[in-house]
Structure 1
Amino acid sequence: MKKRLISLGLLVVMVLTMVTTLSGCGESVTKRADTQDTWSSVKKRGYVVVGLDDSFVPMGFREKSGKLVGYDIDLARAVFKLYGIKISFQTIDWSMNATELRNGTIDLIWNGYTKNPQREKVVAFSDTYLKNQQVLVSLKKNHINSFNDMTGKTLGAQSGSSGYESLENNPKLLKDKIANKTAVQYDTFNNAFLDLNAGRIQGLLIDSVYASYYIKHETNSSDYQETPGAFETEDFAVGMRKGDKTMRRKINAGLKELKANGTLAKINHKWFGNQKVEN
């Protein structure tokens, strides 16, 4: 009996040691993400790892062939081409983007990523390169012409998206009106549109850049309507670790150069045509 008690005591000590060690590792990773400047190592290896949701049209998505294309894909490549650095794009769980960044799995979040005070607590941002807003997409046959028309109806939103954060942070604008005061959350907007078309949700809170592009390329595009609300305009920017101060300077300088030499305007036209966008 005494031996069993001693063994049990040793087991408890081992478990506590493991918990303490893991906690220390977590703190170490966080500290490194906040202090380490990785530009020299990125430059040395010759490529930077960009995390994205590869279903977010037109910012970054896969064509039927599997090829990765999009506004942010072109812009990221153009910026790092200035420095002779290639890009490795890595698909991630979008709701875990900041965790992947700080753990070192990726170096940047570059995929229609909205800059806001909550995210700025853990992520450093580049200068804004594109303006965006949240809109309510619905089927015209449902006659939803304002946020008030969503009263008692079911709303969809993407998990971890800026739209979902806006919904939660400004409940009086829309959340308090919808069924159960809770939005149905989706991993991707594609799945959300499937439910919208099937009538399982009556509205979808979504980025205007995505909505416009998606609807434009649907065969039944005239069936949809976009309704703007009172949510604030959003700033798309590149997310990076707080320690990557050189990376931030390089990206900002690159964005300015692309705007000055006309490359940014060409990328705008390629993905948005004559639609007016604000950089």
Structure 2
Amino acid sequence: MRKKILLVSILSIVLLIVGCSSQSNTINSLDKIKENGELIIGLDDNFPPMGFRDKEGNIVGFDIDLAKELGNRMGVKVKFKPVEWDGIVLTLVNKNIDIVWNGMTITENRKKKINFSKPYLENKQIIVVKKDSNIKSKDDLKGKSVGVQLESSSWYALNKDKQVVNNLKEIRQYPNNVEALMDLKAGRIDALVVDEILGRYYLNKNPKSYEILNDDFGKELYGIGIRKEDTKLKQEIDRILDEMKRDGTASKISEKWFGKDIILE
């Protein structure tokens, strides 16, 4: 009888320890963020106008302003952590950052690994060429060198179009789109597939250097990357985004960076 009582006691203690351990491991990230008073956001700091460095080295941009406003409404400070884009999903999953907020396209492949906020912008994958280029359509890309950012939605969008890809000379991948645009201007690649928002931003700054083709590689939606288990954090982010849309704050930020309101309802 004593052995049975002892066994039951030991089992109860083990279950209690496991239960406590399980509970501590499931503390929601939102609670930790509010406890620490800091929201760490991963981004590519070479992606204007979403997130990039100004002449003084400060990280600025459309997503940056939205994120700061969200932080204010959550009652926490926002910290921006530059991460190589091809590894940013793994960085999020490994909990080295709290969220990804940087013009991130919602794709089926990414949704297998992480969750997303409600979409807040619509985007297209456009083709940018030099102003004097003889490339006028997708068909003209045959035998040409095309640049894309490494592991970006541009890369996935381009590779979906097998008819185009199979006829290319090469696909050259870059750590960021700024380097790719420099190579395009220098003639080291013939075209660049890139997010419309970034492409038009650079076109406005360099109207004599680049032009955008009428053809594109499809529409897509931007969302904020969140770990699958952080459901409470997703709910809070979605709630605040909706609030910012209703009170006009998101529209004002959009007008500041794009000259018009392009926020999704």
- Sequence identity percentage: 36
1:254 equivalent among 233, 237, 240: 240
Structure 1 Cα separation of the partners of residues 32 and 263 of structure 2: 34
Alignment of 1:192 with 2:180, yes or no, is: yes
Q: Is the 8 A contact 1:155 1:202 kept in 2?
A: yes
The 5-angstrom pairing of residues 113-132 of structure 1 reads 113-132=104-123
How many residues are aligned here? 242
Correspondence 1:277 to 2:259: no
> Where does the alignment leave 5 or more consecutive residues of structure 2 unmatched?
1-24
- What is the one-letter code of the residue matched to 1:153? K
Local SS of the residue matching 1:242: coil
> Per-residue deviation at 1:232?
2.5
Contact kept in structure 2, 1:61 and 1:70, CA below 8 Å:
yes
Distance (Å, rounded) in 1 between the aligned partners of 2:96 and 2:136: 43
> d(CA) in 1 for partners of 2:70 and 2:194?
27
Q: Distance in 1 between matches of 2:73 and 2:53?
A: 25
**Counterpart in 1 of 2:38?**
47
Contact 2:251–2:262, Cα closer than 8 Å, also in 1: no
Which residue in 2 is equivalent to 1:208?
196
- Looking at structure 2, the residues matched to 243 and 228 of structure 1 have their Cα atoms a distance apart, in angstroms, of 41
Residue matched to 2:168: 178
Pair 1:263-2:249 in alignment: yes
Letter in 2 for 1:193: L
Q: CA deviation at 1:142?
A: 1.3
Cα pair 2:127 2:216 within 8 Å, conserved: no
Instruction: Check whether the contact 1:167–1:175 (CA below 8 A) recurs between aligned residues.
Output: yes
- Contact between 2:254 and 2:263, CA under 8 Å: does it hold in 1? no
RMSD over aligned CA atoms reads 1.8
Normalising by the residue count of structure 2, what TM-score does the alignment of the two structures yield?
A: 0.87
Q: CA deviation at 1:158?
A: 0.3
Task: Give 5+ residue unaligned stretches, structure 1.
Answer: 1-33
| 1:80 to 1:222, Cα distance in 2 relative to 1, 3 A | same
**3-state SS of 2:241 partner:** helix
CA displacement 1:43-95 (0-9 Å, x = unmatched): 10001110000010000000111011000000111122111111110000110
Q: Tell me how far 1:231 sits from its aligned partner.
A: 2.5
Q: 2: CA distance between counterparts of 1:263 and 1:229?
A: 33
- The 5 A counterparts of 1:30-179 are 37-172=28-163, 174-179=164-169
**CA–CA separation in structure 1 for the residues paired with 2:50 and 2:157:** 20
1:215 CA displacement: 1.8
Shift of 1:194: 1.2
Distance 2:63 2:109 in 1: 23
Supply the distance in 2 between the matched residues of 1:228 and 1:108 (Cα, whole angstroms). Answer: 34
Contact 2:41 2:97 in 1 (8 A): yes
CA distance, structure 2, for counterparts of residue 133 and residue 97 of structure 1: 21
Aligned partners of 1:96 and 1:226: how far apart in 2? 29
